[in-house]
Chains A and B, each alone.
Chain A
Amino acid sequence: MRSPRSSASLGSRRDGEDLVVTLDRDSAPRVLFSGEDLLLCDLPEGTRVVYPPAPMAPVPNRRAAIRWALNHPEGCDPLHAKLRPGMKVTIALDDISLPLPPMRTPDVRQTVLEIVLELLADCGVDDVHLIIANSLHRRMTTAEMRRMVGPRIFAAFYPDRYYNHDAEDPEGMVTLEKTDHGEVVAVNRRAAESDLLLYVNLNLVPMDGGHKSVGVGLANYESLRAHHTPATIRASHGYMDPARSALHRSTDRIGRVIDEHLDVFHIETVVDNRMFDGPAAFLGKNEDRYTEIDRLALEALRFSLKKLPRAAKRKLFQAVPAGYEMIGCFAGKTEPCHAKTLELCFRQYLVPVRGQSDVVIAGIPYISPYNVNSILNPLLVQVMACGYLFNLYRGEPIVKKGGTLIVTHPCPDEFDPEHHPSYIEFFHRLLPETRDAMALEKKYEREFAQNPSYVHLYRKGHAYHGAHPFFMWYWGENGRQHVGRVIVAGAENSHVPEALGWEHAETVADAIDMARGHHGRSASITLFHAPPILMADVGA
């Protein structure tokens, strides 16, 4: 009988199961994502494994919770008191980058819209536009837009009154005054010229929401340049902890200028971390506690994945929506509303962890915020490792300064030319020249941002903006500055890891040997068992 030892004083699930366990000689192999594959890895005795908390209990009645939030907002009058007949209202919505993977229908945004639109109609407000706050992300496709708001709202608003934000429309942006730090503040014209701007947010991680919603989601390249820089990311002590993030301090300054000029009413929703449920629920469990059914499901899934080509595996995974449930809804003024959201978000994700590790292992899954219905290309693999997974902490990073990050991914040299055309040039032309984020920013960022082809593909196609691959590289900057080395296990080629500045190993065991060669046999090892999402609350 396998019986993992547990760190009893640290975080535990509500059912009593420990979230931080230490592996012993008899522990079961751990399951790690490696792109569209699942690896089974025997990890050394003494390895600490940090698991995600169980999903929190959803609100019992989603519609009632939303109505209550609209009627009891933070720091301002209820929504109905702000409405008057004939006024001009814009509703901005988070785009498809949230949540991951897309949730089962009805999407929380659809539920919020159904309630808000009914209220607007009852108050005689007819001039209503729905704008997807996609910032410099790709435009959502028609099918994705329909799925997000449901067929009834889609039919009533698309395409004239339901559309994607266009940050490159010369007539479509308004520039407000600069912040006291000289940051450009630019907002979508329709939103800026409305009597009331409602922002419907879906908060997945603490990085999202708050001033970032309007200040980034409806901004343009010039405004984003204020904070989407390597210097800002270096100065951000973890961008999942807004209180210690220079990125958030900048977006807060921008957001405050926006709030002075616009009447913004936020509706923020928080979802749990139910990324996998049903037969895939085992992916969030401690492997030592797998039931026979879990083991069968794992073997069946691994067998199927082995038989399928990568494109089919990708389709398979992307076709399965997540069973996210809403655990809270808050509304009102930006800052008091978002404070409530953050509190709940941290409650869902934080796992108390004692001390940092010399070596941290993490599996890179098939999805990131930037490849929904697309390919996790090498730059996105990089942003998942050095950006998102590294930054999923509060307090101190889970890996020690100068430590080793081991990730698992096949790293195919594969890009989606429709969604990521500028990434291709960035990866193959720029990275071989330099990986220095400062040099890349100075020498090439504006050139890519202004490339007429990339601008056109962003505006008329479904491509990320020409500057976006730079932001992805900067996003990994504090991870790169902090860790001593990144080793990718299971890469199918050597040139992709080398282009990213990573070392590569055949297996996780080989990668651990390489790490121990540097840190010594007694190096502490932690497996960060995500996804589902968790955040390490690292104490001394």
Chain B
Amino acid sequence: MDGRAAFFDVDGTLVGTNIVHAFAYYALNEGSLRSTALRTAATAASAPLLWGLDKLSRKGFNHFFYRYYRGMSEDRLRLLADDLYEDVLSGAIYPGALDLVGQARRAGCRVVLVTGALDFTMGRLARRIGADDLIANRMEFTNGIATGRVVPPIVEGAHKAQRIREHCVEHGLRLDQSFAYSDSASDYPMLAVVGRPTAVNPDLRLRSLARAYEWPIVELR
């Protein structure tokens, strides 16, 4: 085991969007006016609740939020994912993101995206960034229709760290020589599990954690 990896959170770290943007795009382009209106209205009405949940627990927020996907067609979502990349994600990549990923690659790192977003949403972005692997949430579908549940365990918080650990074992990578990048204090486990963590565009809590632990702080925006 002598390889190493660079694990990147995506939303807020490499791109200026989050899972709500992706869902809003899917909801607004669902196909029928009625369903679009209903989903948009329901999401808008839940905004204060979602905000509160996110502050309280990112895991709880993700669990709750993915329920809004219930009833959406898998085909439609996969089709829209391409458009989402073209219309939203490609323009939201931070100016320094590709440089940082390129530097990780030149340093001999395997590039891995670790995100709480859904895998089909992240596919094109992962290819654009040149990621070797993608660790993302997977939506559960029954007969081609989303159930609103993600395949457990949800990729978030402590589970990101667990997935990173497993990924290193699976690919013969050294965890203590690997890098992790995130923008949020909710990703503290992911940052703490590797030997070389870095705070990227950090929120206030992560900035103070990074200062306390003397992690480098990088701005990509």
- Check: B135 CB closer than 8 A to any chain A CB: no
Q: From B102, B211, B216, give the contact of A453 (CB < 8 A).
A: B216
- Check: A421 CB closer than 8 A to any chain B CB: yes
Check B96 against A460 for contact (C-beta < 8 Å).
yes
Check A456 against B96 for contact (C-beta < 8 Å).
yes
Q: From A422, A447, A460, give the contact of B99 (CB < 8 A).
A: A460
- Check: B107 CB closer than 8 A to any chain A CB: yes
Contact bitstring B209-221, A, C-beta under 8 A = 1, else 0: 0010010111100
- Check: A77 CB closer than 8 A to any chain B CB: no
- Check: A498 CB closer than 8 A to any chain B CB: no
A421 to B199, alpha carbons, bound, how many Å? 12
Check B211 against A417 for contact (C-beta < 8 Å).
yes
Check A424 against B218 for contact (C-beta < 8 Å).
no
Q: For chain B, which range describes its interface: under 10, 10 to 19, 20 to 34, or 35 or more residues?
A: 20 to 34
- Check: A384 CB closer than 8 A to any chain B CB: no
Check B214 against A424 for contact (C-beta < 8 Å).
yes
- Check: B198 CB closer than 8 A to any chain A CB: yes
Interface residues of B in 95-153 (CB under 8 A from A): 96, 99-100, 102-104, 106-109
- Chain B residue numbers with a CB within 8 Å of A455 are 103, 107
Interface residues of A in 123-172 (CB under 8 A from B): 168, 170
Check B211 against A456 for contact (C-beta < 8 Å).
no
How close is B140's CB to chain A, nearest CB, in angstroms? Answer: 35
A64 to B104, alpha carbons, bound, how many Å? 51
Check A453 against B196 for contact (C-beta < 8 Å).
yes
A424 to B108, alpha carbons, bound, how many Å? 23
Nearest A residue to B181 by beta-carbon distance? A453
- Check: A454 CB closer than 8 A to any chain B CB: yes
Check A456 against B214 for contact (C-beta < 8 Å).
no
Check B198 against A453 for contact (C-beta < 8 Å).
yes
Contact bitstring A449-479, B, C-beta under 8 A = 1, else 0: 0111111110111000000000000000000
- Check: A315 CB closer than 8 A to any chain B CB: no
Contact bitstring A355-378, B, C-beta under 8 A = 1, else 0: 000000000000000000000000
A461-B106 contact, Cβ under 8 Å, with A424-B214, A428-B214, A456-B96: no
A452 to B109, alpha carbons, bound, how many Å? 9
- Check: A425 CB closer than 8 A to any chain B CB: yes
Check B107 against A452 for contact (C-beta < 8 Å).
yes
Q: From B99, B108, B109, B177, give the contact of A456 (CB < 8 A).
A: B99
A457-B216 contact, Cβ under 8 Å, with A451-B196, A452-B179: yes
- Check: B84 CB closer than 8 A to any chain A CB: no
- Chain B residue numbers with a CB within 8 Å of A170 are 102, 106
- Chain B residue numbers with a CB within 8 Å of A459 are 99
Nearest B residue to A428 by beta-carbon distance? B214
- Count of chain A residues near B, Cβ 8 A: 20
How close is B175's CB to chain A, nearest CB, in angstroms? Answer: 15
A452 to B216, alpha carbons, bound, how many Å? 11
- Check: B155 CB closer than 8 A to any chain A CB: no
How close is B47's CB to chain A, nearest CB, in angstroms? Answer: 35
Check A453 against B218 for contact (C-beta < 8 Å).
yes
- Chain B residue numbers with a CB within 8 Å of A424 are 214
Q: From B6, B177, B217, give the contact of A452 (CB < 8 A).
A: B6
A455 to B198, alpha carbons, bound, how many Å? 12
A413 to B103, alpha carbons, bound, how many Å? 30
A425 to B196, alpha carbons, bound, how many Å? 10
A490 to B219, alpha carbons, bound, how many Å? 38
Interface residues of A in 389-407 (CB under 8 A from B): none
Nearest B residue to A429 by beta-carbon distance? B214
Interface residues of A in 410-462 (CB under 8 A from B): 417, 421-422, 424-425, 428, 447, 450-457, 459-461
A424 to B219, alpha carbons, bound, how many Å? 18
A417 to B219, alpha carbons, bound, how many Å? 13
- Chain A residue numbers with a CB within 8 Å of B177 are 447
A527 to B100, alpha carbons, bound, how many Å? 49
How close is A225's CB to chain B, nearest CB, in angstroms? Answer: 16
How close is B109's CB to chain A, nearest CB, in angstroms? Answer: 7
Nearest B residue to A446 by beta-carbon distance? B107
Q: From B106, B198, B211, B214, give the contact of A450 (CB < 8 A).
A: B106
How close is A329's CB to chain B, nearest CB, in angstroms? Answer: 40
Nearest A residue to B197 by beta-carbon distance? A453
- Chain A residue numbers with a CB within 8 Å of B211 are 417
A80 to B102, alpha carbons, bound, how many Å? 43
Interface residues of B in 171-191 (CB under 8 A from A): 177, 179, 181
A461 to B196, alpha carbons, bound, how many Å? 19
A457 to B220, alpha carbons, bound, how many Å? 10
Q: From B100, B214, B218, give the contact of A425 (CB < 8 A).
A: B214
Nearest A residue to B102 by beta-carbon distance? A170
Nearest B residue to A425 by beta-carbon distance? B214
A451 to B216, alpha carbons, bound, how many Å? 11
- Chain B residue numbers with a CB within 8 Å of A460 are 96, 99, 219
How close is B191's CB to chain A, nearest CB, in angstroms? Answer: 12
Q: From A417, A450, A451, give the contact of B217 (CB < 8 A).
A: A417
- Chain B residue numbers with a CB within 8 Å of A421 are 216-217
- Chain A residue numbers with a CB within 8 Å of B217 are 417, 421
Check A452 against B103 for contact (C-beta < 8 Å).
yes
A186 to B32, alpha carbons, bound, how many Å? 61
A371 to B109, alpha carbons, bound, how many Å? 32
- Chain B residue numbers with a CB within 8 Å of A451 are 107, 179, 196
Nearest B residue to A169 by beta-carbon distance? B99
A447 to B176, alpha carbons, bound, how many Å? 12
How close is B42's CB to chain A, nearest CB, in angstroms? Answer: 41
A450 to B108, alpha carbons, bound, how many Å? 9
A253 to B219, alpha carbons, bound, how many Å? 39
- Chain A residue numbers with a CB within 8 Å of B6 are 452
- Chain A residue numbers with a CB within 8 Å of B109 are 452
How close is A442's CB to chain B, nearest CB, in angstroms? Answer: 16
A452 to B102, alpha carbons, bound, how many Å? 8
- Chain B residue numbers with a CB within 8 Å of A456 are 96, 99-100, 103, 218
12 contacts between A and B (CB under 8 A): A417-B216, A428-B214, A447-B177, A450-B106, A451-B179, A451-B196, A452-B6, A453-B216, A456-B100, A456-B103, A457-B216, A460-B96
Closest 6 CB pairs of A and B: A450-B107, A452-B103, A452-B104, A453-B198, A453-B216, A455-B103
Given contacts A451-B196, A452-B6, 4 further A-B contacts (CB under 8 A): A425-B214, A451-B107, A453-B179, A456-B218
